[in-house]
Structure 1
Amino acid sequence: MRTRALGGAAILAALALDQATKYAVVRYFDAQGGAPFALGPFLNFTLRWNPGVSFSLFAQDTAAGRWMLLAVTAAVTVFLAVWLWRARSVLTCLGLGAIIGGALGNAYDRFAYGAVADFLDLHLGARHFFVFNGADAAINIGVVLLILDGLFLSGRTGLSDGRR
């Protein structure tokens, strides 16, 4: 039961941090006219509206396409929520919570704005790889936690329930 609560806390934390940062970024760029700036040698702060999923794949510019992406997100989120409800591993619950929270954050953007606000531009010199947001980071962190739990901690007391 406590592991589910951790998963729920991870959902709320990922969703709240994602939406708070997106709100601040959109307000900043609206007020400042959209000029990007460097956050460090490999990261720029910019604003891009992504009508697709990760790496702008499956970009949907129509209402039907956006609703299709929302439906797929809803189905995957329900599957992950059932998994979270059944999970007993701390890392699995935290990982699933981070993924669900990130998915809900991006789904909210897609529903409210028709696209997802991305603002962290990862680059190496002039080579720009992708622009992402807090929800994307939460999803990736969640996946890493699931991999760590499955590969290295499965069956160890306290971190994983050993049921695989």
Structure 2
Amino acid sequence: MPPLRAGVLTAIVTLVADQASKLWLLNGFDLARKGVVKVMPFFDLVLAWNIGISFGWLQNDSQAAQIALMAVKVIAVVALAIWMARSHTWLATVALGLVIGGAIGNGIDRLAYGAVVDFALFHIEIGGTTYNWYVFNLADVAIVVGVAVLLYDSVLGVPAAKAP
């Protein structure tokens, strides 16, 4: 499969998986009504509305802030799509597809709900104190994995062809 096709397919699959998980947890499973759902001793499902950016930074629910965040997201997706179209390695192109699909998925949330739907919470208890990780979603996972793969590809991937 050509790299660009693989990247576009990865973006589409990522977007569909992200949106399907959120729609099911919101409407089918009704996570809002159920509250915290213990899945494993270290993992819960819990509904969180993120009005900021990654890791809950820049929390601001004003309309101007939401429009600004959407504008930045659109510019980033366009820049990433151009990078993906110009990429020559399969690994980088697929990684860019993960980032693009995740960014669009979280962007759809922001348009539909005014906030990003987060639901996955890892935690650990040590000495009677519970330590929680950030609440996140599948789009966030795709973005983090995509960035990690891009870093791997840039440092340890196939070396670029030398100029003649």
Segments of 4+ in structure 1 off by > 4 A?
none
1:152 alignment counterpart: 156
Structure 2 stretches lacking a partner, 5+ long: none
2:139 alignment counterpart: 135
1:76 alignment counterpart: 76
Deviations 1:18-37 (A, max 9, x none): 00000011114537713212
In the TM superposition, what are the counterparts of 1:2-151 in structure 2 within 5 Å? 2-28=2-28, 30=30, 33-125=33-125, 126-151=130-155
Q: Partners of 1:83 and 1:145 in 2: how far apart?
A: 15
SS in 1 for 2:46: strand
Q: CA deviation at 1:60?
A: 2.1
Q: 1:117 to 1:43 in 2, by over 3 A?
A: same
> Percent identity between the aligned chains?
36
SS in 2 for 1:48: strand
Deviations 1:82-105 (A, max 9, x none): 100000111100100000000000
* TM-score, normalised by the number of residues in structure 2: 0.90
Q: Partners of 1:41 and 1:86 in 2: how far apart?
A: 44
Q: CA deviation at 1:150?
A: 1.1
Deviations 1:49-85 (A, max 9, x none): 1101111111121111101000000111111011000
Q: 1:49 to 1:29 in 2, by over 3 A?
A: farther
More displaced stretch, 68-77 vs 36-45: 36-45
User: Would you say the 8 A contact 1:39–1:45 is kept in 2?
Assistant: yes
SS in 2 for 1:79: helix
Q: Partners of 2:73 and 2:36 in 1: how far apart?
A: 30
Structure 1 stretches lacking a partner, 5+ long: 156-161
Q: Partners of 2:31 and 2:119 in 1: how far apart?
A: 15
User: Would you say the 8 A contact 1:29–1:35 is kept in 2?
Assistant: no
Q: Partners of 2:112 and 2:62 in 1: how far apart?
A: 14
User: Would you say the 8 A contact 1:102–1:136 is kept in 2?
Assistant: yes
User: Would you say the 8 A contact 1:29–1:47 is kept in 2?
Assistant: no
Q: Partners of 1:114 and 1:123 in 2: how far apart?
A: 27
Q: Partners of 1:31 and 1:148 in 2: how far apart?
A: 36
Q: Partners of 2:31 and 2:140 in 1: how far apart?
A: 25
Instruction: Provide the alpha-carbon RMSD of the alignment.
Output: 1.7
